[in-house]
């Protein structure tokens, strides 16, 4: 059997699963709301955090058993904040409604630089039932799949141009990382991975032009700062042996939907800017 035939077989009912995912995320376009605040532990400050101007105290996402350092001075909200957190009242926001939107659409963390119109977020697209970590796959298998990503698929790219993919190694994970553009409205970078069965996207976009080299470096430093409390044990896997939706989640149509979530968060940027302007009056 040729590699192409094995690949097609492993994809299974790709089209139907992608369509189901697209339908499920359509409501994300209405997501609005952003707030100040974070909950975190307090480990020692590292040199890279200081050099990259990241927060000394990491934000903790308890549901993932994960911590990450975010940029100093950025407005940050975690979906695990309490609805009555003082940050909501201070910014004239309805904590209950805002958190409901984020939890509905898998937005675990959102951080925004209101001066540069740059936004970072972490989204959870679901739990994989077969794949525990991307590190279960060989370098060759991951590269083969990454190469497939940059090839235009049937039906086009839904207005999104994805290019320059690399496999990025982290001490606890592997990421499929690349640049992306959404109809010229937003430009940025995305890092995809699976850790402990969680399908995660770490992404930063600029709504005011090209994402700067400095912000790209900042995103890389944020990814480097990620730490998981523990990793589940898992044996090796091969792409042609897996019939998981893992193969669908990295397809351009899936990524376009993830970017639409991010584009919707551009509305959140507009929303918070209105609040800040109102407070200055």
Give the pLDDT of residue 36.
27
If 0-12 CB within 10 Å is exposed, 13-18 middle and 19+ buried, where does residue 182 land?
Answer: buried
For the chain, give the number of residues: 281
pTM: 0.72
**Token pair listed for 254:** 């899936």
pLDDT: which is higher, 60 or 126: 60
Whole-number Cα distances in Å, 120 to 116, 127, 218: 12, 22, 10
Nearest C-alpha neighbor of 67 from the set 46, 88, 89: 46
CA 132 to chain centre: 18
pLDDT in tens, 173-195: 999 888 877 666 678 898 888 89
Give the pLDDT of residue 155.
46
CA distance 49 to 55: 7
pLDDT at 66 over 70: yes
CA distance 212 to 99: 30
pLDDT in tens, 43-54: 334 444 445 589
| pLDDT-derived band at 227, boundaries 50, 70, 90 | very high
What share of residues in the chain are helix, strand, coil (percent, to 5)?
Answer: 40, 25, 35
CA distance 152 to 235: 32
pLDDT over 70 for what percent of the chain?
58
pLDDT: which is higher, 258 or 169: 169
Mean of pLDDT values over 10-29: 31
Furthest C-alpha separation in the chain: 69
pLDDT in tens, 232-253: 999 998 876 544 455 555 554 4
The most confident of 82-96, 196-210, 263-277, by mean pLDDT: 196-210
CA distance 182 to 7: 28
Domain around 115: 3-280
Give the CATH number of the domain where residue 78 resides: 3.40.1000.10
CA distance 230 to 252: 31
- Sheet with strand 66-68: strands edge to edge: 59-61, 66-68, 227-228
| pLDDT-derived band at 158, boundaries 50, 70, 90 | very low
Q: How many domains does the chain have?
A: 1
Q: Is the dihedral of CA 143, 6, 194, 20 positive or negative?
A: positive
């Amino acid at each position: 059997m040729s590699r192409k035939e094995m690949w097609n077989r492993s994809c299974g009912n790709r089209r139907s699963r992608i369509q189901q995912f697209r339908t499920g995320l359509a409501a994300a376009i209405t997501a609005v709301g952003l707030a100040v605040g974070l909950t975190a532990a307090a480990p020692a400050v590292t040199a890279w955090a200081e050099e990259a101007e990241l927060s000394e105290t990491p934000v903790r996402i308890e549901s993932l058993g994960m911590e990450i350092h975010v940029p100093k001075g950025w407005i940050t909200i975690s979906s695990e904040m309490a609805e009555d957190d003082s940050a909501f009242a201070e910014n004239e926001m309805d904590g209950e409604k805002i958190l409901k939107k984020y939890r509905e659409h898998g937005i675990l963390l959102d951080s925004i630089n209101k001066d540069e119109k740059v936004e970072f977020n972490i989204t959870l697209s679901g739990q994989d039932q077969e794949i525990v970590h991307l590190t279960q796959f060989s370098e060759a298998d991951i590269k083969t799949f990454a190469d497939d990503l940059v090839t235009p698929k049937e039906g086009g790219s839904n207005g999104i141009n994805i290019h320059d993919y690399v496999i990025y190694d982290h001490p606890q994970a592997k990421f499929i990382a690349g640049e992306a553009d959404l109809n010229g409205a937003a430009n940025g970078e995305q890092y995809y991975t699976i850790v402990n069965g969680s399908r995660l996207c770490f992404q930063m976009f600029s709504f005011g032009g090209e994402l700067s080299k400095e912000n790209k470096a900042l995103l890389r430093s944020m990814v480097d700062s990620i730490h998981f409390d523990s990793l589940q044990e898992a044996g090796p896997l091969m792409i042609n042996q897996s019939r998981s939706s893992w193969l669908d989640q990295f397809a351009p149509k899936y990524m376009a939907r993830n970017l639409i979530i991010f584009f919707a968060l551009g509305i959140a940027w507009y929303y918070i800017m209105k609040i800040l302007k109102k407070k200055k009056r």
